[in-house]
Amino acid sequence: MLICMKTTINLPDGLAEMAKRRAAERGCTFTSLVVEGLHQVLRETSDARRAPLPTWGAPSDRVLVDPADKEALGDALDADGWK
Protein backbone atom coordinates (compact mmCIF):
# COMPACT_ATOMS: atom_id res chain seq x y z
CA MET A 1 0.00 0.00 0.00
CA LEU A 2 1.37 3.41 -0.99
CA ILE A 3 1.11 6.06 1.69
CA CYS A 4 1.46 9.65 0.57
CA MET A 5 1.75 12.86 2.56
CA LYS A 6 -0.51 15.64 1.43
CA THR A 7 1.31 18.96 1.60
CA THR A 8 1.05 22.50 0.30
CA ILE A 9 3.87 24.26 -1.53
CA ASN A 10 3.99 27.84 -2.75
CA LEU A 11 5.29 28.24 -6.28
CA PRO A 12 5.72 31.35 -8.37
CA ASP A 13 2.77 31.62 -10.78
CA GLY A 14 4.95 31.35 -13.88
CA LEU A 15 6.72 28.24 -12.62
CA ALA A 16 3.44 26.53 -11.71
CA GLU A 17 1.98 27.30 -15.15
CA MET A 18 5.09 25.99 -16.92
CA ALA A 19 4.96 22.81 -14.85
CA LYS A 20 1.24 22.30 -15.60
CA ARG A 21 1.91 22.73 -19.32
CA ARG A 22 4.84 20.29 -19.21
CA ALA A 23 2.73 17.73 -17.34
CA ALA A 24 -0.03 18.06 -19.96
CA GLU A 25 2.50 17.65 -22.78
CA ARG A 26 3.84 14.49 -21.16
CA GLY A 27 0.38 13.18 -20.33
CA CYS A 28 1.03 13.01 -16.61
CA THR A 29 -0.25 14.82 -13.55
CA PHE A 30 1.25 17.93 -12.01
CA THR A 31 1.91 15.92 -8.84
CA SER A 32 3.80 13.17 -10.68
CA LEU A 33 5.91 15.79 -12.43
CA VAL A 34 6.81 17.41 -9.09
CA VAL A 35 7.58 13.99 -7.56
CA GLU A 36 9.82 13.09 -10.50
CA GLY A 37 11.63 16.43 -10.24
CA LEU A 38 12.21 16.04 -6.51
CA HIS A 39 13.54 12.51 -7.01
CA GLN A 40 15.94 13.79 -9.67
CA VAL A 41 17.23 16.65 -7.52
CA LEU A 42 17.66 14.45 -4.47
CA ARG A 43 19.43 11.76 -6.50
CA GLU A 44 21.83 14.34 -8.00
CA THR A 45 22.76 15.84 -4.65
CA SER A 46 23.26 12.46 -2.98
CA ASP A 47 25.27 11.06 -5.91
CA ALA A 48 27.42 14.07 -6.63
CA ARG A 49 28.16 15.23 -3.10
CA ARG A 50 30.13 18.40 -2.91
CA ALA A 51 33.36 18.39 -4.82
CA PRO A 52 36.35 19.24 -2.67
CA LEU A 53 37.73 22.73 -3.05
CA PRO A 54 40.98 22.88 -5.00
CA THR A 55 44.18 23.09 -2.98
CA TRP A 56 47.76 23.77 -3.93
CA GLY A 57 51.13 23.78 -2.27
CA ALA A 58 52.61 21.28 0.14
CA PRO A 59 49.99 19.56 2.32
CA SER A 60 52.14 20.22 5.38
CA ASP A 61 51.77 24.01 5.10
CA ARG A 62 48.17 24.08 3.82
CA VAL A 63 46.03 26.56 5.71
CA LEU A 64 42.44 25.53 6.40
CA VAL A 65 40.11 28.46 7.02
CA ASP A 66 36.36 28.75 7.44
CA PRO A 67 35.35 31.51 4.97
CA ALA A 68 32.56 32.53 7.36
CA ASP A 69 35.17 33.42 10.01
CA LYS A 70 36.14 36.89 8.80
CA GLU A 71 39.00 37.33 11.23
CA ALA A 72 40.59 33.94 10.42
CA LEU A 73 40.10 34.53 6.71
CA GLY A 74 41.77 37.93 6.92
CA ASP A 75 44.67 36.46 8.89
CA ALA A 76 45.16 33.69 6.31
CA LEU A 77 45.06 36.14 3.40
CA ASP A 78 47.53 38.48 5.09
CA ALA A 79 49.83 35.71 6.35
CA ASP A 80 52.46 36.26 3.68
CA GLY A 81 52.23 40.05 3.77
CA TRP A 82 50.99 42.56 1.22
CA LYS A 83 51.85 41.93 -2.40
Domain ranges in the chain are 13-48
- Among 14-18, 22-26, 71-75, 78-82, the range scoring the smallest mean pLDDT is 78-82
Q: 46-83 burial string, b = 16+ CB within 10 Å, else e?
A: eeeeeeeeeeeeeeeeeeeeeeeeeeeeeeeeeeeeee
pLDDT tens column, 56-79: 666 666 667 777 788 888 887 777
> How many residues does the structure list for the chain?
83
The pTM (predicted TM-score) of the whole model is 0.51
Contact criterion met (CB below 8 Å) for 23 and 17 = no
For CA atoms 39, 29, 14, 25, give the dihedral sign.
positive
Percent share of the chain, pLDDT over 70 = 71
> For residues 12 and 19, what is the distance between their CA atoms, to the nearest angstrom?
11
